[in-house]
């Protein structure tokens, strides 16, 4: 008897899941299905799983395709299961291609082509609908977004729009999406929600078109380049009862959210100063350094650097100043800034041509919070006090590229109308960040050297 084994979360069981199980079963005489446990899903960064383990096992059982169902509870279990059950074939979807080649030592490994025409779920109720999401843009961040989306339940990346047809088609084929198009109106007619990952200057237009078409929008940072555009778009979303969220991943990751809660609860007293740095080195003349595409340190990285000031000190600053080192085309390669509040200050450093320590320090009247580099992927922080014995340490997990956290928050907002006016990075905070970007781009209170 030839035994086949496959694994999955199998949340919101749909036609794609059933098709995979059918093709896996056809590879042998006996099919074993591993369903992931809640704890293992959390450990591997799988977010927003809607159904319990018992419900997901029942759904798989109801297909009549599994001869045996087991629970996957830990990393490395697949090897143990293959040995224990004397498995001949390991089968998995082609979106995981090459990921499980290490299992070839123990059995045959087959990657089954992903079903591209998922249009409805097989077992679900109305409150657990799957959001069909389309991507505007096919660059680097969009390419990272698709794999990250697989860790968020309740959303299906269906297709991509790019005005360059060949780029859209290549992206579709690379990620096994259902469609690609260079027609924006056609694109918007095919999906429920949009992830905007186009060049910075095009964000406002693409967000506006999507909202006018009745689509929820998750937009990459920087959201837009002026405060007035940001305010207009958030107002448009509110009037149409649509979710509009800026995709600033740090604001939604578990570690940073807990840091915000603790600091705001008074763990280090009153916050009086913040220092945040985010720098990286880029070579050549990439998009990040293109003046025509609104490149530069502030537009590329400023959203992260502004975040601690906005979250901990608020929106009512009275002055901001910038000191920048620019290239011959006027693009800032490094900028140091100071945001002045009535009773506190926040300084920041961002750079694409200068590298410095990327830590975050929040100074308070009872101690300070220290978040080591890279603080924007908050995995660890300390609360330090005068007495070294009072130091408290906090540890968290930041999975993958972090894009799953912003998508998870977006899906929650879309599915829960009571949360549409609440998020970890509010419209008012997003508008404030856009105002800081706009102030810099207009050259206000800015010193530039070459």
pLDDT digits (tens, 9 = 90+) for 352-392: 999 999 999 999 999 999 999 999 999 999 999 998 888 99
In DSSP terms, which residues pair with 14 in a beta bridge?
121
Look at residues 112, 147, 178 and tell me which one is the last residue of a structural domain.
Answer: 112
Record the pTM.
Answer: 0.79
Q: What is the pLDDT of residue 405?
A: 94
Domain count, the chain: 3
Domain membership of residue 43 as a residue range: 3-112
CB neighbours (10 Å) of residue 232?
Answer: 16
Report phi then psi at 286, rounded to 5. -75, 180
Span 259-291, pLDDT tens digits = 999 999 999 999 999 999 999 998 877 888 888
Domain assignment of residue 428, yes or no = yes
DSSP label at residue 67: S
CATH number of the domain to which 205 belongs: 3.40.50.720
Domain assignment of residue 119, yes or no = no
CA distance 68 to 157: 30
Instruction: Output b/e per residue, 106-122; b: 16+ Cβ within 10 A.
Output: ebebbbbebbeebeebe
Block residue for tokens 């657990």: 128
Instruction: Give the pLDDT band of residue 115 (cuts 50, 70, 90).
Output: low
DSSP label at residue 52: -
Span 418-437, pLDDT tens digits = 655 667 899 999 999 999 99
| pLDDT value at 123 more than 50 | no
Domain assignment of residue 118, yes or no = no
- Find, among 200, 254, 282, the residue nearest to 402 by Cα: 254
Cis bond upstream, residue 222 (ω within 30): yes
| pLDDT value at 116 more than 80 | no
- Looking at the fold, whether 54 and 165 belong to one and the same domain comes out as no
| pLDDT value at 121 more than 60 | no
Q: What is the pLDDT of residue 421?
A: 60
CA distance 246 to 302: 14
**Crossing angle of helices 403-415 and 140-149, rounded to 10°:** 60
- Looking at the fold, whether 60 and 134 belong to one and the same domain comes out as no
Q: What is the pLDDT of residue 126?
A: 45
Instruction: Give the pLDDT band of residue 120 (cuts 50, 70, 90).
Output: very low
Q: What is the pLDDT of residue 430?
A: 97
Domain assignment of residue 263, yes or no = yes
Span 239-266, pLDDT tens digits = 999 999 999 999 999 999 999 999 999 9
CATH number of the domain to which 349 belongs: 3.30.360.10
């Amino acid at each position: 008897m030839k035994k086949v084994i496959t694994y999955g979360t199998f949340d919101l069981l749909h036609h794609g899941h059933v098709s995979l199980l059918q093709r896996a079963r056809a590879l042998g005489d006996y099919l074993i299905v591993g369903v992931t446990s809640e704890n293992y899903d959390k450990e591997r960064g799988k977010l927003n799983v809607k159904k319990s383990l018992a419900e997901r096992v029942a759904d798989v059982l109801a297909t009549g395709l599994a001869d045996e169902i087991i629970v996957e509870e830990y990393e490395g279990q697949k090897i143990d299961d293959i040995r224990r059950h004397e498995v001949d074939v390991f089968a998995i979807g082609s979106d995981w291609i090459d990921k499980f080649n290490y299992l070839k030592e123990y059995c045959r490994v087959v990657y089954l082509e992903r079903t591209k025409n998922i249009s409805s779920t097989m077992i679900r109720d109305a409150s657990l609908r799957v959001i069909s999401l389309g991507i505007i843009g096919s660059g680097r961040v969009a390419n990272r977004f698709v794999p990250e989306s697989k860790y968020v339940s309740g959303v299906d990346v269906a297709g991509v729009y790019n005005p360059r047809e060949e780029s859209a088609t290549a992206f579709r084929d690379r990620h096994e999406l259902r469609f690609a198009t260079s027609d924006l109106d056609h694109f918007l007619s095919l999906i429920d929600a949009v992830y905007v990952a186009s060049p910075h200057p095009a964000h406002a237009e693409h967000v506006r078109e999507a909202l006018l078409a009745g689509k929820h929008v998750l937009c990459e940072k920087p959201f837009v380049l002026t405060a007035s555009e940001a305010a207009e778009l958030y107002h448009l979303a509110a009037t149409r009862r649509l979710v509009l969220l800026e995709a600033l991943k740090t604001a939604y990751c578990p570690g940073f959210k807990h840091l915000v809660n603790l600091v705001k609860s008074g763990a280090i007293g009153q916050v009086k100063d913040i220092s945040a740095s985010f720098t990286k080195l880029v070579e050549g003349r990439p998009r990040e350094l293109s003046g025509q595409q609104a490149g530069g340190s502030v537009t590329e990285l400023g959203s992260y650097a502004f975040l601690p000031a906005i979250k901990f000190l608020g929106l009512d600053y009275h002055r901001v100043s910038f000191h920048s080192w620019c290239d011959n085309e006027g693009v800032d390669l490094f900028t140091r800034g100071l945001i002045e509040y009535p009773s506190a200050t926040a300084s920041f450093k961002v750079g694409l041509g200068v590298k410095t320590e990327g830590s975050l320090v929040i100074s308070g009247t009872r101690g300070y919070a220290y978040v080591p580099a890279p603080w924007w992927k908050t995995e660890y922080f300390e609360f330090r006090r005068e007495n070294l014995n009072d130091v408290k340490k906090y540890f968290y997990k930041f999975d993958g590229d972090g894009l799953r956290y912003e998508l998870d928050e977006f899906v929650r907002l879309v599915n829960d109308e009571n949360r549409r006016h609440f998020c970890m990075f509010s419209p008012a905070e997003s508008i404030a960040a856009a105002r800081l970007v706009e102030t810099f781009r207009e050259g206000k209170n800015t010193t530039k050297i070459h």
